[in-house]
A and B are shown apart, each in its own frame.
Chain A
């Protein structure tokens, strides 16, 4: 029975929850801007529409280009099995935190190589930016994981991100949450780092890399991006929210995800995008915060 629940929860998390989360972020942004906004499930409709279309491939591209979206989505799905949504993750072993971080890195690598494969100079520019930013976001993520692993005494995501029970070293938890949130915004091309809505080639970071993909490929990429946002939001929620009495583990997770969506929406509505040269500064600051949190824990 437990296996069945876990499998059902995983299916829900992999298929529907990402789009609900994205829809809530967009609804929040629309509400702050005084608009009504698209329906909550709009991105899911988009993905379904794209899946029904055929794909057009440029003659200059090779198999690398077709591999990108498929491997990207597969890596993100594999990462999803490691994340504890309600109670326990589908797959858990010592050291799965490292695998989690590198599955994201793999997804990014294939996206970048697919973008470079098109030979477009704009895509090369976007790839270079994406790689530059993520090379700074990755140390922050790993350092945060190291700090949490030391605190929990376990190298598994399920142990590291168990809901807070008592008050243990508040300062290092706050630092971990802060740097994880910055990593979430940077990795998912959210506003202070990258604008998910912009389509001006000179300013895009993530979007420019997927310009040449269409049809099912684009659907895979969109779904993978939404899933990645969800996974990181789940981790953040597990770190911050204690189990709300009366709601249980699942209710708490759902409530926390709604809260995270509203928080991301508010950040996106209130902040302007940073100048490109200032983005590394923000990311280095988050690396410093994560390193400081680790130091506090190691003492």
Chain B
């Protein structure tokens, strides 16, 4: 079980790196769905006491939402705004990949220092969650298009979910489901907002939003 969870965690980091280096929006959404599925499978592999029905419930909920519903909404939003590629990010793809590698290193150093309650199955969980959070943030601040910023937000959220998994497995599942619902609503709203931005400004570059005049 430990080997499987380690593989899944390494895969999650690898997918975040792929997202940092990829420019195709639909490709990014597919990778995000894959990452959501990996994150969803983790609760099943991480528990020491063997199989639990509660873990299965959470796992199914996360997979349905993060691997199926949210990617659908994002793909729909992309189709609406007719944008296929992130063309000119503020930080180039190669430098954001290198920054991503640096952030992974920082995450591992931080995780060594961080006082975390014991009883973790996998000692990789905390560093990987920190790395995913930081790479999500990097993606949010370094991209111009609203869709990629939303994707960065979702990577960020995946990281927070992993961290939650790390520090308290006994989290009441009502809270877990509440958080998932919040994310779902947030993405739903963002999908609508992206549509409105593109209709109002003929573009979803967030750079345009800083100008105040009526005429572009």
Contacts and interface: CB of A to CB of B under 8 A. Distances in A.
Contact of B17 (A169, A174, A288): A288
Given A281-B93, A289-B14, A292-B10, 6 more contacts: A170-B7, A175-B14, A285-B18, A288-B97, A292-B104, A295-B104
User: Which of A280, A287, A288, A291 has the most CB atoms of chain B within a 10 A radius of its CB?
Assistant: A288
A284 interface: yes
26 contacts: A170-B3, A170-B6, A171-B3, A171-B9, A174-B10, A280-B94, A281-B21, A281-B93, A284-B21, A284-B97, A284-B98, A285-B17, A285-B18, A285-B97, A288-B100, A288-B101, A289-B14, A291-B105, A292-B14, A292-B101, A292-B104, A295-B104, A296-B10, A299-B108, A299-B123, A299-B124
A167 interface: yes
Interface residues of A, number: 19
A285 B21 contact: yes
Contacts of A292: 10, 13-14, 17, 101, 104
Contacts of A296: 6, 10, 124
B105 A295 contact: yes
Interface in B124-177: 124
Contacts of B14: 175, 289, 292
A171 B97 contact: no
A295 B108 contact: yes
Contacts of B97: 281, 284-285, 288
Nearest to B14: A289
Given A171-B7, A174-B10, A299-B123, A284 B94 contact: yes
Contacts of B124: 171, 296, 299
Interface string B1-36: 001001101100110011001000000000000000
A177 B100 CA distance: 21
A45 B7 CA distance: 45
Interface residues of B, number: 21
A254 B3 CA distance: 29
A280 B123 CA distance: 32
Contacts of B17: 285, 288-289, 292
Contacts of A288: 17, 97-98, 100-101, 104
Contact of A175 (B10, B18, B100, B108): B10
A102 B101 CA distance: 25
B98 to A, nearest CB: 6
Interface string B88-101: 00000110011011
A167 B18 contact: no
Contacts of A284: 21, 94, 97-98
Interface string A159-174: 0000000010111101
Q: Which residue, A167, A175, A291, A296, has most C-beta atoms of chain B within 10 A?
A: A296
A170 to B, nearest CB: 5
A132 to B, nearest CB: 12
Nearest to A284: B97
A257 to B, nearest CB: 26
Give the most central of B3, B94, B100, B104: most A CB within 10 Å.
Answer: B94
A287 B14 CA distance: 12
A174 to B, nearest CB: 7
Nearest to A288: B101
Contact of A167 (B3, B13, B21, B105): B3
A285 B98 CA distance: 8
Interface string A260-287: 0000000000000000000011001101
Nearest to A178: B14
A295 B14 CA distance: 13
Given A284-B97, A288-B97, A292-B101, A171 B123 contact: no
